[in-house]
Amino acid sequence: MTVGEIVARQPLLARIFERVGIDYCCGGKKTLQEACTAKGLDAATVLVMLDAASLMADARPVVDAAAMSLTALADHIEQSHHAYLKEELPQLVEKAARVAMKHGWRDSRLPEVAATVRALADEMFLHMAKEEQILFPLVRQFEQGGPATSHCGTIANPIRVMELEHDNAGGALARLRELTDGFKPNAEACNTHRALLAGLAHLETDLHEHVHKENNVLFPRALALEVQLVTAG
């Protein structure tokens, strides 16, 4: 099987080829062995990486967010969802720009896809910084017993901002879904385009889980804890 055929069947595996420097688009007609030899890579090792990535894409671990402490949940969100976004968003921005530049003549929606992905990435990086530097430390402070005070006044203020930004991100993803016909490639889509669409679909799933854990679990419990601390104090 050629590297292009591998990505055509499982577009998310494109990230493995990108990580090791194998061109799966223009160089997609090479077999895995040929592509690895050209790059001085061990084909068996790359194959193990591909197999592992394939299994991980199919098996998403179930996390019981409600059973976690607030500190553990904040840590989990940073270590899983934030880490994923920090690695994935720059790649999606690059792919979207490349696809728009090369194929914008064929689909006039592609430049808007690229602009929307870039705007979403910019907003999410700022959003994560606010959570990691302001909101999550405050949540951990509350769980350790207080004090239930901060320069924000009440924790409801940063939470309100985070929820608004979640809504904005959801709107951007809804627009991307509309612009890409539900993240479905047409027959003319190249492998980079297919990898972009698969990546956006995966981003949508991950962000839905991410926002659920915050909006429906972390934030309500943090607000309730603040009330308890204020009352006790």
Is the same domain home to 80 and 54? no
Is the same domain home to 204 and 227? yes
Domain boundary (43, 58, 73) is at 58
Is the same domain home to 19 and 76? no
Is the same domain home to 132 and 149? yes
pLDDT tens digits along 159-213: 999 999 999 999 999 999 999 999 998 888 898 999 999 999 999 988 888 998 8
Where in the sequence is the domain holding 114, given as residue range(s)?
Answer: 65-232
Domain count, the chain: 2
pLDDT tens digits along 13-37: 887 888 888 887 667 789 999 999 9
- 26-34's contacts with Cβ under 8 Å and 24+ in sequence apart are 27/3, 28/2, 28/3, 28/4, 28/191, 29/2, 29/4, 30/2, 30/3, 31/1, 31/2, 31/3, 32/1, 32/2, 32/3, 32/6
Is the same domain home to 104 and 7? no
Is the same domain home to 226 and 208? yes
Is the same domain home to 7 and 53? yes
Is the same domain home to 46 and 156? no
Is the same domain home to 215 and 101? yes
pLDDT of 59 strictly over 60? no
Is the same domain home to 100 and 195? yes
